């Protein structure tokens, strides 16, 4: 079966732009579109629900929502609504949430594995209309076509849990040298679907430099082995991220070195990016591969991204 291709971006660029990007992605042959869920921001479920009514083929995903800001039963109901509207094209990504999502709401991430495990269990119960600890089916509950649940995470424990209990794992925003470990964790218990998404910038070095400080969050919310590989302590990453939120980019710019950028971000023409993407993910036999779009205008970035994905698909098939 041919590998699926997709794009992932955050709905902080304007709701109409998000909608237009999803519709355009389908017309350009992209197989799936994932939206991030960063807490007090535009709601990805509402945006995907709107897009569901204007598309026919493209898969619609959230990567990832978390059980700290949304109750798992509410997550399930929102996802099932999109699933129903789209005729079964929703994929739900669940994880422990990152600092971008939780910090603005002043929510602490306590026991991320336990919270994610509980969330997946309750989501499954809602989908199946069965009772479980934390959820009792209501008379007005509804069902939709079978819903795939992915776990999106960078840690060993959560990826091993994905292999144990989820339909798939969503791996994104990690250095190239960390992909093997994460893919192995995600296949450690049962074979599951694997989505690997890599960061890409098509607008040149100036665009990379403008975004450089923001990649500190990839280190802050990544596993310790990844930080250690690049000589970054958790305390330094946290301090740099906090300074960045206050408008001071200096500490983050210092920690996000050129070496780290080279492993995190693919740059060049669509042909070059497509070939590099295929080379990065080929050893792990993913179900889907994709590009993370970092831009204020995802519609404009979509055409080179789709061209790169077409190259990657040809290389991998």
The number of angstroms, rounded, from the C-alpha of 114 to the middle of its chain's C-alpha atoms is 20
Please compute the mean of the pLDDT values over residues 69-90 and round it to a whole number.
Answer: 97
Residue 254 structure tokens? 């210092």
- Tell me the sheet residues that pair with 195: 170, 288
Decide which of 144 and 151 is more confident.
Answer: 151
Domains of the chain: residue spans and CATH: 4-202+268-316 (3.20.20.30), 208-265 (no CATH)
Q: Is residue 71 over pLDDT 80? A: yes
The number of angstroms, rounded, from the C-alpha of 145 to the middle of its chain's C-alpha atoms is 23
CA–CA gap between residue 220 and residue 94 (Å, rounded):
19
82: left (phi over 0), alpha (psi -120 to 50) or beta: alpha
Which pLDDT belongs to residue 155?
Answer: 92
Share of the chain above pLDDT 90, in %: 85
CB 230 within 8 A of CB 260: yes
Q: Is residue 40 over pLDDT 90? A: no
Which pLDDT belongs to residue 299?
Answer: 87
Model confidence at 304, pLDDT cuts 50, 70, 90, reads: very high
Please compute the mean of the pLDDT values over residues 119-148 and round it to a whole number.
Answer: 94
The string of pLDDT tens digits covering residues 196-235 is 999 999 988 998 999 999 999 999 988 899 999 999 999 9
Q: Is residue 154 over pLDDT 80? A: yes
Q: What CA–CA distances, in Å, run from 83 to 49, 78, 88, 152, 261?
A: 8, 9, 5, 19, 36
Which pLDDT belongs to residue 1?
Answer: 66
Give, for 197, the enclosing helix (H) or strand (E): strand 193-201
Model confidence at 294, pLDDT cuts 50, 70, 90, reads: confident
The string of pLDDT tens digits covering residues 253-268 is 999 999 999 999 999 9
CB 42 within 8 A of CB 12: yes
Is the peptide bond between 68 and the residue preceding it cis, with omega within 30 degrees of 0? no
Please compute the mean of the pLDDT values over residues 122-138 and round it to a whole number.
Answer: 96
CB 132 within 8 A of CB 122: yes
Helix/strand/coil (H/E/C) assignment for every residue in 23-67 = HHHHHCCCCEEEECCCCCCCCHHHHHHHHHCCCCCCEEEEEEECC
CB 129 within 8 A of CB 137: yes
Least confident of 49-53, 138-142, 271-275: 138-142
What are the two backbone dihedrals, phi and then psi, of residue 168, each rounded to the nearest 5 degrees? -165, 170
Q: Is residue 163 over pLDDT 70? A: yes
Please compute the mean of the pLDDT values over residues 156-174 and round it to a whole number.
Answer: 97
The b-or-e profile of 119-154 (16+ CB within 10 A means b, else e) is bbebbbbbbeeeebeebeeeeeeeebeebbbbbbbb
CB 48 within 8 A of CB 93: no
What are the two backbone dihedrals, phi and then psi, of residue 163, each rounded to the nearest 5 degrees? -65, -30
Q: Is residue 121 over pLDDT 80? A: yes
CB 67 within 8 A of CB 118: yes
Which pLDDT belongs to residue 188?
Answer: 97
Give, for 205, the enclosing helix (H) or strand (E): helix 205-211
CB 32 within 8 A of CB 306: no
Please compute the mean of the pLDDT values over residues 105-110 and round it to a whole number.
Answer: 92
Is the peptide bond between 303 and the residue preceding it cis, with omega within 30 degrees of 0? no
Model confidence at 287, pLDDT cuts 50, 70, 90, reads: very high
Q: Is residue 39 over pLDDT 90? A: no
Q: Is residue 279 over pLDDT 80? A: yes
């Amino acid at each position: 079966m041919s590998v699926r291709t997709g794009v992932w971006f955050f709905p902080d660029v304007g709701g109409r732009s998000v909608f237009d990007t999803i519709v355009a992605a389908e017309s350009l042959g992209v197989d799936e579109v994932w939206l991030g869920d960063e807490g007090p921001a535009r709601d990805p479920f509402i945006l995907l629900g709107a897009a569901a009514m204007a598309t026919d083929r493209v898969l619609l995903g959230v990567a990832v929502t978390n059980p700290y800001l949304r109750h798992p039963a509410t997550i399930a109901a929102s996802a099932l609504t999109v699933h129903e509207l789209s005729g079964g094209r929703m994929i739900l990504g669940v994880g422990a949430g990152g600092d971008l999502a939780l910090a603005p709401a002043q929510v602490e991430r306590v026991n991320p594995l336990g919270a994610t495990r509980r969330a997946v269990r309750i989501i499954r119960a809602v989908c199946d209309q069965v009772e479980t600890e934390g959820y009792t089916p209501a008379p007005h509950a509804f069902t939709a076509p079978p819903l795939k649940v992915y776990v999106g995470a960078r840690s060993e424990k959560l990826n091993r849990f994905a292999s144990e209990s989820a339909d798939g794992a969503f791996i994104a925003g990690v250095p190239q040298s960390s992909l093997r470990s994460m893919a192995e964790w995600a296949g450690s218990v049962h074979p599951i679907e694997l989505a690997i998404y890599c960061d890409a910038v098509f607008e040149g070095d100036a665009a990379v430099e403008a975004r450089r400080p923001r990649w500190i969050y990839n280190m802050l919310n990544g596993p310790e082995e990844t930080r250690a590989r690049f000589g970054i302590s958790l305390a330094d990453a946290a301090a740099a991220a906090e300074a960045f939120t206050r408008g001071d980019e200096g500490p983050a710019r210092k920690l996000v070195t050129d070496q780290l950028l080279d492993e995190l971000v693919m740059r060049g023409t669509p042909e070059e990016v497509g070939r590099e993407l295929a080379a990065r993910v080929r050893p792990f036999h993913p179900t889907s591969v994709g590009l993370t779009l970092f831009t204020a205008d995802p519609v404009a970035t979509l055409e080179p991204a789709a061209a790169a994905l077409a190259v990657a698909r040809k290389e991998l098939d």
